[in-house]
Amino acid sequence: MRKYLLATCLSAVALCAASFAYADDDPLLTMQKDAKQWVTPRADYAATGYSTLNQINASNVGKIAPAWTFSTGVLRGHEGAPLVVGDVMYLVAPFPNTVYALDLNNDGKILWKYEPKQDPNVIPVMCCDTVNRGVSYGDGMIFMHQADTTLVALDAKTGKVDWSVKDGDASKGQTGTDAPFVFKDKVLIGVSGGEFGVRGWVSAYNAKDGKLVWRAYSEGPDSDLKVDPQKTTSLGKPIGADSSLKTWKGDQWKIGGGATWGWYAYDPKLNLVYYGSGNPSTWNPSQRPGDNKWSMTIWARNLDTGEAKWVYQMTPHDEWDYDGVNEMILTDQKIDGKDRQLLTHFDRNGFGYTLDRASGELLVAQKFDPKVNWATGINMDKNSADYGRPIRVKAMSTEAQDVNVKGVCPAALGSKDEQPAAYDPQTELFYVPTNHVCMDYEPFKVSYTAGQPYVGATLSMYPPKGDSNMGNFIAWDNKTGKIVWSDPEQFSAWGGALATAGGVVFYGTLEGYLKAVDAKTGKLLYKFKTPSGIIGNVMTYEHGGRQYVAVMSGVGGWAGIGLAAGLTKPNDGLGAVGGYAALSNYTALGGTLTVFALPQD
């Protein structure tokens, strides 16, 4: 790794992306402690989405107003969030994934931009809009995962390509939508394409030169999974030999899904990386009998070797597309009177899970939306053969081909999709943007062809019976598995949350509102309508002694795919177009960064 001295970058002329010396093992960890910056996609390795800045607080947040804006020039879904390193902000737009470096000392002047040249044929194989969830920083470089799976390392000062590597093959449905994650000296990326029969994997590259260090798959032989049959555990027991192969029919695992396009977290003390794998392929469950391990799974892997320490499959033999890729938030808390190293995960399947992140022990599993009906609960009896498995409701099964199962809650986009939650150590609560949506689901037989959709189900989506709201923003107690407060939203709350030491929690809505609520009560303290619907994640930073809050708006993603791609048939967009048809009455396409601050004296 190149060596840098820690420096404060004050020049408005020369770009100086906070460089540093390797005085300890991990300078990026030191940088995360500086709340003036936002150097990783979710604020820190633990993915908390929390900032200790408090200049903006519950007593004055109602006075904030836009300080400056920036247009990306792209009219598709804007997920993710900017980074702030020193005096420079970095952000990436949807396809074709232009990266911008903006000078905070000069009203967001463009210092440089990187414009990759990508084959537009990648667009049709991007499942749910042409999104990108952000860039990452490390060792003086900005890392970006392009739609065509190219991982590129850009010099943070100049935007010049330092190195690039192709991770997959878009012609086979393999695409890149996730943010890269820099942990110590490695860059980790996953792959999208579960709806194209892609067998999911995670790749770890050397941040210095782009050399592949390890790659681990979600399904297949033990060697591909990087598991040890006797040492890798699930709920405290060794997984045994061929744990994945035994749960698939024939060679179905080779096109088995388990994509890895979500968020990643890292515990430096345990040296473990945490992430989730997605839905099995196809969406027609009758074509893939068995538990389909290890799709729908929480993974804990050694950062240096990739070897899995433990796994936990949340939805064995998934029948509803309940992807398991949502963020893993790491906290140290007391639970049942004991100090615990915890991992909290809000799954698409509607259950909030709390596990011991060192051992993988399941501690809490409860519904975070009361309308969830595909299962009554999770079996918590450690003496049961079904320990840790969902207690399914037979009437909600989609196992019968060509049968339309009605009223399944949640819908395939889950009680929560990739929009990340935030954790506040002051309240010890998690703030979760949720979907409040159900569906009708009809599976049909489908054949696999590389690079072609491999779905095999027709869906329609709508709010739960008796409700008009399609979303809620909730506060969650991960120790008890209970909702503390809940704010209803007309549409799904699809923007990622930010919690701050000022007692304020921020999030965005599909209509385009940035909202600020009281962390203790959920009381609305402020809202502002941005130019387009928000599916991005709110972040904060300090510059020149002034705290700023920033969010990218640009409606799209799965919920907004009708607007983003011009789709009109109700069943298009895997069922989302009809469910969110009314969204067009409230917002339109656009790609804008809006930065807020308190008025200057």
| Digit-coded pLDDT (tens) for 282-314 | 999 999 999 999 999 999 999 999 999 999 999
3-state secondary structure 471-525: EEEEEEECCCCEEEEEEEECCCCCCECEEECCCEEEEECCCCEEEEEECCCCCEE
**Whether residue 26 lies in the annotated active site:** no
Domain boundary assignment for the chain? 27-331+338-597
Sign of CA dihedral 553, 278, 51, 181: negative
Give the pLDDT band (50/70/90) at residue 25. confident
One-letter amino acid identity for 73?
G
Any idea how long the chain is? 601
Query: 437 with 420: CB under 8 angstroms?
Result: no
Question: What residue has token string 């860039």?
Answer: 135
Beta-strand pair 338-346/498-500: unpaired
| Closest alpha carbon to 79 in 584, 559, 575 | 559
Question: Across the strands, what pairs with 537?
Answer: 496
Instruction: Examine the pLDDT at 14 and tell me if it is beyond 60.
Output: no
Q: Where are the alpha helices (DSSP H) in 511-587?
A: 561-565, 576-579
Give the C-alpha separation, 454 to 254, whole Å: 13
pLDDT tens figures, 97-120 = 999 999 999 989 999 999 999 999
Q: Which amino acid is at 303?
A: L
pLDDT at 122: 94
- Count of other CB atoms within 10 angstroms of residue 356: 17
pLDDT at 402 exceeding the cut of 70:
yes
- Rounded distance between C-alpha atoms, residue 297 and residue 1, angstroms: 33
Cα–Cα distances in angstroms (integers) from residue 504 to residues 258, 332, 333, 463, in the given order:
36, 21, 21, 28
The whole-angstrom separation of Cα 134 and Cα 49 is 14
329 pLDDT tier (thresholds 50, 70, 90):
very high
- Residue 16 banded pLDDT, cuts 50, 70, 90: very low
**432-442: pLDDT as tens digits:** 999 999 999 99
Read off the amino acid at residue 250: G
pLDDT value for 161: 98
Q: CA-CA distance, 244 to 219, in Å (whole number)?
A: 6
Question: Mean pLDDT across the stretch 405-428?
Answer: 98
pLDDT of residue 23: 37
| CA-closest candidate to residue 260, choices 194, 319, 215 | 194
With residue 440 as reference, give the H or E element that holds it.
strand 438-443
What φ, ψ does residue 518 adopt, rounded to 5°?
-70, 130
- Band (pLDDT 50/70/90 cuts) for residue 12 is very low
User: What are 34-66's pLDDT values in tens digits?
Assistant: 999 999 999 999 999 999 999 999 999 999 999
pLDDT at 127: 87
Least confident span in 36-50, 240-254, 257-271, 569-583: 569-583
CA distance 342 to 333: 7
CA 54 to chain centre: 26
pLDDT attached to residue 340? 97
Task: Give residue 368's identity as a one-letter amino acid code.
Answer: F
Question: Per-residue pLDDT for 515 more than 70?
Answer: yes
Pick the range with the lowest mean pLDDT from 239-253, 428-442, 551-565. Answer: 551-565
Whether pTM > 0.85 for this model: the answer is yes
Beta strands in 289-418 (DSSP E): 297-302, 308-313, 328-335, 338-346, 351-356, 362-367, 375-378, 390-392, 405-408
What's the gap between Cα 301 and its chain centre?
Answer: 18
- Work out the percent of the chain whose per-residue pLDDT is above 70: 96
Average pLDDT over residues 346-364: 98
Sign, CA dihedral 383-384-388-393, equals negative
Q: Using an 8 Å Cβ cutoff, are 76 and 95 in contact?
A: yes
Asked if 40 contacts 420 with a C-beta cutoff of 8 angstroms, the reply is: no
Q: What is the mean pLDDT of residues 203-220?
A: 98
- Between CA 533 and CA 383 the distance in angstroms is 48
Catalytic residue among 321, 323, 369, 417: 321
The CATH code of the domain at 27-331+338-597 is 2.140.10.10
**Element spanning 28, H or E:** helix 27-32
Q: Span 240-268, mean pLDDT?
A: 98
